[in-house]
Amino acid sequence: MAKPLPCLEKPTLDKDLDKVTFTEEASHFVLKPWAGIGLGSLFVLLSMLFAAAYVSEQPAFLMIVAAAALAGYMAMNIGANDVTNNVGAAVGSKAITMTTALIIAAIFEIAGAAFAGGRVVSTIEAGIVDAAMMPTGPAFAWVMMAALLSAAVWINVATWSGAPISTTHSIVGGILGAGIAAAGLSAVHWWVLAGITASWMVSPLLGGGIAAALLAFIKIFIIYREDKITGAVFWMPILISGMTGAFASYFALIGLEKIVSVGPTTGIVIGLAVALVTFLVSRPWIIRQAQGLDNRNQSLRKLFKVPLILSAALLSFAHGANDVSNAVGPLSAIVTHVKGTAVTSVSDVPLWVMLIGALGISCGLLLFGPKLIKVVGEEITKLNPMRAFCVALATAITVLLATALGLPVSTTHTAVGAVFGIGFFREWFTRNSKRRLDYVRQKTGQTDFQRRVEQSPDERHLRQLVRRSHFMTIVAAWAITVPISALLSAGVYVLFAAIFN
């Protein structure tokens, strides 16, 4: 009996996309039980006390304290919802333990929020609506209060109903709706809003492109080579040193900008120095790890554990830097406004405000992260370490670029875009790569690959429909969240105006 020919269609794109979608659904499932409510409530209370210690002598004291409570609650939701995007793959592939993953995520989330979150917070604080256009002095503070409350309520409702949404879209929609209700369409900075909206569309595409390029590099120079281990030993130290060097330059230029001014040339030199040190340290370690490994893909998965851990840490930093703004941007605006200071895009964000967001994100991932990662751990493992590394690193690069520009983007949607990019590239590579076809011919003896690849059009059409369903889910989440948040926030603002004016 003839040996069946290997199927060249790889039905993994839909599985990889399912893992990301399942992560979102699981996050909502995990947040439903009452186990963490007590500790979460304690953190909200501590946020209120923390705010009270700094603003007890300021006007609108109660408003600031209430806003701090809502900001703390939103920050916990952000940390709980996105923890598996950051470290789930590393835990699922057994690259690190649960405890190590939570420690890495917590440390880098706090660092990202504290050191690099100011630019995006300033955009949320002053870039969407103009405080000078408000009809009365307190109106702007009530706009931000309404946005915080409506976004928190909408996220809570969506969490309990199992609907995947973006906290970034929720808070932007909330500020937009309340701002229009308070001062009309003219109060909105439409060009800034257009830039934010464009970033929501571009970030998944950019993440997909970067992820595809990374995977193409790994396939061409490591996977489809006669000696995979030798290729990995040569290129992996370069990948790791390039990643750490680029992050070092970013941190020197952006993360330290409020502590010390670092010029572009100095930042590049710092990055190159860190890259060189990383290369000298990582290469001997990888050589030791590669000793005795078989020349197969399973061995490569073991070697990619360290790059996956580093990319998870970098993604945690990027997530903290960008998404902390969703929680503390309105709070910072309220604090600045009630002090009588003009709210602008260059306003300094108080440190205690940033700490509420940073600690809240870490509190959320520590309270709800273990169970969430256990729920998706086995599923996320199938997104193997090499592809998971490409997704995490591409998402981190994209989010850090957006953060440097002060643009709030969705890390989940960017990660989904990275999965799409990898999937489409793998389909193209499977059908068209001469290197791969020659490699498989050599290993299997099969000669008619191209004809086999072009068979089963119905199956390919079905797979295309599945991709479209995932894409439409993402678009629907974005399209529905912004208007619902805007309408809810507008209603809350009207209620506030009726009660307190």
Predicted local confidence at residue 163, as pLDDT = 55
d(CA 131, CA 127): 10
Residues 6+ apart with CB under 8 A from 186: 133
Q: Is 129 strand, coil or helix? A: strand
In angstroms, what is the C-alpha Rg of the chain? 24
Q: Residue 122 corresponds to which amino acid?
A: S
Predicted local confidence at residue 470, as pLDDT = 56
Predicted local confidence at residue 217, as pLDDT = 92
Tokens 């794109």 belong to residue: 13
Q: Contact 51/65 with Cβ under 8 angstroms? A: yes
Phi, psi dihedral angles at 402 (to 5 degrees): -65, -40
| Blockwise average pLDDT, block size 10, the chain, 501 residues | 50 60 56 64 88 76 88 84 69 74 86 83 83 81 90 76 71 92 89 88 90 90 86 91 91 80 87 94 91 83 85 88 87 80 61 87 77 49 72 89 86 79 79 66 56 50 49 67 90 89 67
Domain boundaries, the chain: 13-208+309-500
d(CA 357, CA 408): 15
d(CA 116, CA 118): 6
Token pair belonging to 9: 């269609």
Query: What's the CA angle centered on 105, arms 28 and 79, to 5 degrees?
Result: 30
Dihedral (CA of 227, 229, 232, 233) sign: negative
Predicted local confidence at residue 374, as pLDDT = 54
Phi, psi dihedral angles at 36 (to 5 degrees): -95, 0
Residues 6+ apart with CB under 8 A from 257: none
Q: Contact 328/311 with Cβ under 8 angstroms? A: no
d(CA 366, CA 106): 7
Helices 305-338 and 351-381: angle between axes, nearest 10 degrees: 150
Tell me whether residue 195 is exposed, middle or buried, using C-beta atoms within 10 angstroms of its C-beta: 0 to 12, 13 to 18, 19 or more: middle
Predicted local confidence at residue 275, as pLDDT = 94
Q: Contact 367/40 with Cβ under 8 angstroms? A: yes
d(CA 55, CA 77): 25
Token pair belonging to 156: 């809570």
The 3-class secondary structure across 345-407, one letter per residue, is: CCCCCCHHHHHHHHHHHHHHHHHHHHHHHHHHHHHHHCCCHHHHHHHHHHHHHHHHHHHHCCC
The 3-class secondary structure across 326-361, one letter per residue, is: HHHHHHHHHHHHHCCCCCCCCCCCCHHHHHHHHHHH
Q: Where are the alpha helices (DSSP H) in 162-304?
A: 167-183, 190-218, 228-250, 264-290, 297-303
Dihedral (CA of 480, 481, 485, 488) sign: positive
Tokens 């020349």 belong to residue: 295
d(CA 493, CA 26): 32
Predicted local confidence at residue 477, as pLDDT = 65
Q: Is 97 strand, coil or helix? A: coil
Q: How many other β-carbons are positioned within 10 Å of the β-carbon of residue 283?
A: 17
